[in-house]
Amino acid sequence: MKRLFLFLLVACHLMLVAKANDGSSLWLPTERNATPSKVVKGSKCKALEELKNFYKGSTPVLLRLDKKAGAGDAFRIAADTQQITLTASTTSGLLYAAYDLLRMQQLGDIRSKEEQPAFDLRLLNHWDNLDGSVERGYAGKSIWKWDDMQIVGKNVSIAPELQQHICDYARANASIGINGIVINNVNASPKMLSDEILRKVKAIGDLLEPYGIRTYLSINFASPMALDSLPTADPLDSQVRLWWQKKVDEIYRLMPHFGGFLVKANSEGQPGPGDYHRTHADGANMLADALQPHGGIVMWRCFVYGANHKGEDRVKQAVSEFQPLDGQFRENVILQTKNGPLDFQPREPYSPVFDQIKKTPNMVELQITQEYTGQSRHLVYLAPMWKEFFSYVEPARLRGIAGVANIGDDTNWCGHHFSQANWYAFGRLAWNPQLTSEAIAREWLQLTFTHDENFVRPMTEVMLASHEACVDYMMPLGLHHIFQFDHHYGPDPAGFKPEYPLEWCPVYYHQADTLGIGFNRSSTGTNATSQYREPYCSQYDNLAACPENLLLWFHHVPWDYQMKSGRTLWQELCAHYDRGVAEVDRFHNVWQQLRPLLLRADHNDPRRWQEVEERLLHQQENAREWRQTCLDYFGSFSRMPQNQ
């Protein structure tokens, strides 16, 4: 009797533990069928395997490969009471159909549909280094454990837990439509192209491939010198060109499905063609020529400043550098540009590169990792910010989309449970940028937490409000880059270091003085407004017409300037900081009220609620710090009282 009781106790405990949620399963279905579902049929592929494991329905499912179905990753789901048929022309199309069906099953609404992704290239960019650190990573160390992969003869043996983890990662990506990853940091080590690492990359790539995920690498432009002691990395030098050709051939021998290179050149100290007085086109084309016979691409980043255009307004430099080269790039080169012209600030206008580069394919780079939006300590849902970008730059004008990953080896992958929503939203928008931020938030909350509307409704609202709140308590009205140096967490509007380039210093960006605040980028200032297409060029240039949420980005505005609300600029600034702080207080209140509900959903395990609670408490404190530091500092110029 006693034994039975003990057994039951242990069994119950195990069930609870199994059910409790530490965030590691993300938004994915977790409960596998005890035996593979018998009603799912089709030829052998990953989609079939996933459905056999996780499809719970009794309506038979048929997977059909049909060459006449839509191109590439497109798929069709035809569902009636007798049968659910998934049709695609490729196995990756079937895989996306399978995940769509599983998602509909989880959401309790299985419908017929036809889907086609908006972009062919839907990529994560990892800023992971070989030493296991992650640049701008806030969720632990890199998930690539290079030391847990051993070269054994011709093969690479990967520890089983690592294998499983990489497959879980691949599955999460595939479930939201991501079809490629750049494994390493754009500040790339030449060692990435060494034999040893390439073989390990191949081993990772082999695990990703069944999930429709292609592998890409960031390369260091000076690799021929660092790896093989060539005297130069000049892209017009025949030895250098031969070196790259051989290296690329070697990569494709190992990985026939390799995707191509991502390149940060002549930017923030990275080597590049400019070191030999060659252009970005010369550099990109050399790599493109080596990749072209294999079908590979070059994604060449436009995040370039401080080299050829020193002294020019930093936000103008990408256009100044790349616009004259437009038309000179090979067909397999894509220019990859951050959404805004500066650097992933909480709010930026769109980058005018998207207006000025007309002959070369463009890709946008978004930052999923929250370098400038509270890192993994603030609840900030980024979909509204990305949607804002798409309201200025038509998705149809872009060849692809890349997101700087927020993934590390933390149990919950992203550090903050709600940062998972940004990974999820990135994938969903990469597939379909027309989806609303609200629809994505709702669906993510249901998949990740609970279907209970009393949880989903208020948290959807919190998520939707969170980005604007962050802008308000950090940098309202178009202020930008007033972060603390280097780590970019917390405010430092007084920041100035004579040993740093001016364009790294907060004082350069807000230009506060006794007359007013803001950066004059109008035609009476740096004329950055001229890089925009109409109507934005005129709108941004004109103080009265400029949207107020970008006012101080484009204009130096007197402290007593009258805003649309009737308040002075100073009062408006104070009101925004107040609003930001009040919003975070409100988010925290909502979260506190949801405690019993989430605990019920999490089988009494307080872990997720508690982990978010601690971060919200911190976010409240940090929002207050932003308000106080900024208003104290700016108030010393305006000499006007706060809270009027």
Report, in Å, the least distance between residue 286 CB and ligand GCW: 21
Token readout for 40 is: 């799912």
Query: Interaction with ligand GCW in 245-264: which residues (CB under 6 A)?
Result: 264
Binding mask 59-98 for ligand GCW (x = CB under 6 A): ----------------------------------------
Q: Report in angstroms the alpha-carbon separations of 338 from 296, 302, 421, 582.
A: 22, 8, 20, 31
Q: Does 187 bind ligand GCW (CB under 6 A)?
A: yes
End-to-end Cα separation, the chain, in angstroms: 73
Nearer to ligand GCW, 128 or 313 (CB): 128
Q: Report in angstroms the alpha-carbon separations of 56 from 33, 49, 59, 446, 563.
A: 7, 13, 9, 18, 57
148, 209, 268, 409: the active-site residue: 268
User: Which residue is it, tokens 């590049």?
Assistant: 272
Binding mask 128-167 for ligand GCW (x = CB under 6 A): -------xx-------------------------------
d(CA 570, CA 640): 7
Q: Does 278 bind ligand GCW (CB under 6 A)?
A: no
Q: Does 321 bind ligand GCW (CB under 6 A)?
A: no
Token readout for 639 is: 């000499």
Among 313, 343, 472, 572, binds ligand GCW (CB under 6 A): 343
Query: Interaction with ligand GCW in 356-375: which residues (CB under 6 A)?
Result: 371
Q: Does 344 bind ligand GCW (CB under 6 A)?
A: yes
d(CA 157, CA 271): 34
C-alpha angle 180/181/183, rounded to 5°?
155
Residue nearest to ligand GCW (CB): 343
Q: Does 126 bind ligand GCW (CB under 6 A)?
A: no
Percentages helix, strand, coil for the chain, rounded to the nearest 5?
A: 45, 10, 40
Report, in Å, the least distance between residue 53 CB and ligand GCW: 37
- Is 560 catalytic? The answer is no
d(CA 327, CA 350): 22
Report, in Å, the least distance between residue 319 CB and ligand GCW: 17
50, 365, 371, 602: the active-site residue: 371
Among 127, 169, 559, 609, binds ligand GCW (CB under 6 A): 127
Token readout for 397 is: 């004008």
Q: Does 503 bind ligand GCW (CB under 6 A)?
A: no
Nearer to ligand GCW, 308 or 530 (CB): 308
Binding mask 12-41 for ligand GCW (x = CB under 6 A): ------------------------------
Q: Does 480 bind ligand GCW (CB under 6 A)?
A: no
d(CA 66, CA 93): 10
73, 128, 282, 343: the active-site residue: 343
Query: Is-cis flag, bond preceding 346, omega within 30?
Result: no
Nearer to ligand GCW, 135 or 438 (CB): 135
- Is 343 catalytic? The answer is yes
User: What HEC string does 17-47 produce?
Assistant: HHHCCCCCCCCCCCCCCCCCCCCEECCCCHH
Token readout for 257 is: 């499905």
Q: Does 186 bind ligand GCW (CB under 6 A)?
A: yes
d(CA 268, CA 184): 17
Would you say the C-alpha torsion 546, 549, 550, 553 has a positive or negative sign?
Answer: positive
- Is 541 catalytic? The answer is no
Number of residues that bind ligand GCW (CB under 6 A): 11
Nearer to ligand GCW, 268 or 605 (CB): 268
Per CB under 6 A, residues contacting ligand GCW are: 127, 135-136, 186-187, 264, 268, 303, 343-344, 371
Q: Which residues are catalytic?
A: 268, 343, 371
